[in-house]
Amino acid sequence: MAQAYVTDTGNGGPEPEPSGSGLRGRLAALRKDPGIWRRGIVTAAVAVLIALVMVFHATLPNDVGNLGSLIETFLPWLAVPIAVLLVIGLVRKSATALIALLLPSVIWVHLFGGLVTDKSGAGGNLMVATHNVDADNLDPRGTAAAMAKSGADVLALTELKASAVPLYEAGLAGTYKYHAVEGTVGVWSKYPLSSSKPVDIKLGWTRAMRTTVDTPYGQVATYIAHLPSVRVKLNAGFTANQRDNSAGALGAALAGEPLKKVLLLGDLNGTMNDRALSEVTSQMRSTQGAAGDGFGFSWPAQFPMARIDQIMVRGITPEASWTLGRTGSDHLPIAARLTVRP
């Protein structure tokens, strides 16, 4: 039987491992592995497909099931399949897959890397908040109490159930001297309100309104809107046509606003990536994108996956944007600190 020997190097220890073992040896073995380039072709192809989706998402067709809008709603979550493909590439020791994954990774960082960092500042002279309180909210009193403690100077509530409106009015009366409700949306303010009226977003009932907030820094045209909900159905895909029509009507109202300082608060049932909201997003600035801390996902409250609640401005400077604590609603409240210049 062959015997293994460990020779002494003369300094009290065994000889070092041969150059063929250890990390250097493993790398050398990988370089000599003929399958390192052949393995992972499918993984590499999927990586390239994800990269193409991120680059050309605006051209994806909406004719069938509003596929483009559906993908755009959850576009940041493409980081998950990228991470899964990375693990597969590492496990399979595929150079082809790992190199291909550089493409979607770089594109994702370009598109969303800025949202990961905290861009909030310390300035601001007006704090605003908005919350879809949920018509089925079992604790409207508790929700009102939580929003009264938010610190917001201007608070917008959407999905107000008619029978719950008196509860919100009572719960917020001690904090906000002024308020106006139109249909299922309302605004509460520490500053005087004037010219409050419904905004027609082509639904047949009122889910949007406009008011003027007379802040110490000048008048701010304030819009509160709750665009129609969207649904994902097996037989129809992403049903969003009604939402899209209402977005167009809201965009037209914003375009015709005579005041230079404009604020939009509410549940738009869509993200800033969704091309269906372009008539709104093209003329308003998202506070989360400009001054947010992270992605600021607001729905669903149990495990937020998308920011469909929005605070947007025109002629006003965003300083900070964040989500507030959970209430009895299926949405998280969101808030922003703004600078309104006279």
In a domain, 10, yes or no: no
Residues 29 and 86 both lie in one domain: yes
Give residue-wise pLDDT tens across range 287-332: 999 999 899 999 999 999 999 999 999 999 999 999 999 999 999 9
Each residue's pLDDT tens digit, 209-232: 999 999 999 999 999 999 998 765
**Above 90 in pLDDT, residue 151?**
yes
Q: Considering only 25-39, 110-124, 145-159, 285-299, which range has the smallest mean pLDDT?
A: 25-39
Which residue, of 116, 151, 186, is where some domain finishes? 116
57: in domain: yes
pLDDT higher than 60, residue 15: no
Residues 206 and 280 in one domain: yes
Query: Residue 236 has what pLDDT?
Result: 42
Note the pLDDT of residue 5. 45
Considering only residues 280 and 72, tell me which one the structure prediction assigns the higher pLDDT. Answer: 280
pLDDT, tens digit, for every residue of 159-206? 999 999 999 999 999 999 999 999 999 999 999 999 999 999 999 999
Provide the edge-to-edge strand list for the sheet that holds 193-198: 193-198, 208-215, 218-226, 262-267, 309-314, 285-286
Residues 134 and 101 in one domain: no
Q: For residue 73, what are the domain limits?
A: 22-116
Q: Select from 95, 116, 137 the last residue of a domain.
A: 116
- Average pLDDT for 8-34: 56
pLDDT at residue number 114 = 86
The reply to whether 11 falls in a domain is: no
Q: What is the pLDDT of residue 73?
A: 87
Q: How confident is the model at residue 10 (pLDDT cuts 50, 70, 90)?
A: very low
Indicate if the pLDDT at residue 337 is higher than 60: yes
Q: Is the pLDDT of residue 138 over 70?
A: yes
**Residue 5 domain-assigned (yes or no):** no
Answer yes or no: is 191 within a domain: yes
Among 116, 137, 162, identify where a domain stops: 116
**17 within some domain:** no
- Whether 121 is covered by a domain: the verdict is no
Contact assessment for residue 266 and residue 156, using Cβ atoms and an 8 Å cutoff: yes
Q: What is the pLDDT of residue 194?
A: 98
Residues 98 and 163 reside in one and the same domain:
no
> In the prediction, which pLDDT does 25 show?
62
Q: Evaluate if pTM is beyond 0.95.
A: no
pLDDT at 334 over 60: yes
The two tokens of residue 188 are 């509460």
Asked if the model's pLDDT at residue 339 lies above 70, the reply is: yes
Total tally of structural domains belonging to the chain? 2
Same domain, 189 and 269: yes
CATH code for position 282? 3.60.10.10
3-state secondary structure the chain: CCCCCCCECCCCCECCCCCCCHHHHHHHHHHHCHHHCCCCHHHHHHHHHHHHHHHCHHHCCCCCCCHHHHHHHCHHHHHHHHHHHHHHHHHCCCHHHHHHHHHHHHHHHHHHHHHHCECCCCCCCEEEEEEECCCCCCCHHHHHHHHHCCCCCEEEEECCCHHHHHHHHHHHCCCCCEEEEECCEEEEECCCEEEEEECCCCCCCCCEEEEEEEECCEEEEEEEEECCCCEEECCCEEECHHHHHHHHHHHHHHHCCCCCCEEEEEECCCCCCCHHHHHHHCCCEEHHHHHEECCCCCECCCCCCECCEEEEEECCEEEEEEECCCCCCCCCCEEEEEECCC
Shared-domain flag, residues 109 and 132: no
Same domain? For 198 and 331 the reply is: yes
Mean pLDDT on 132-137:
98
Residue 2, pLDDT above cutoff 80: no
pLDDT of residue 125: 98
Whether residue 244 is found in the same domain as residue 159: yes
Reported as a pLDDT band with limits 50, 70 and 90, residue 31 is: low
- Pair (265, 328) in one structural domain: yes
Asked if 201 and 272 sit in the same domain, the reply is: yes
Query: 75 with 172, same domain?
Result: no
Does the pLDDT at position 207 exceed 70? Answer: yes
Task: Tell me, yes or no, whether 159 and 304 share the same domain.
Answer: yes
Whether 80 is in a domain gets the answer yes
Report the range out of 7-16, 117-126, 133-142 with the highest average pLDDT. 133-142
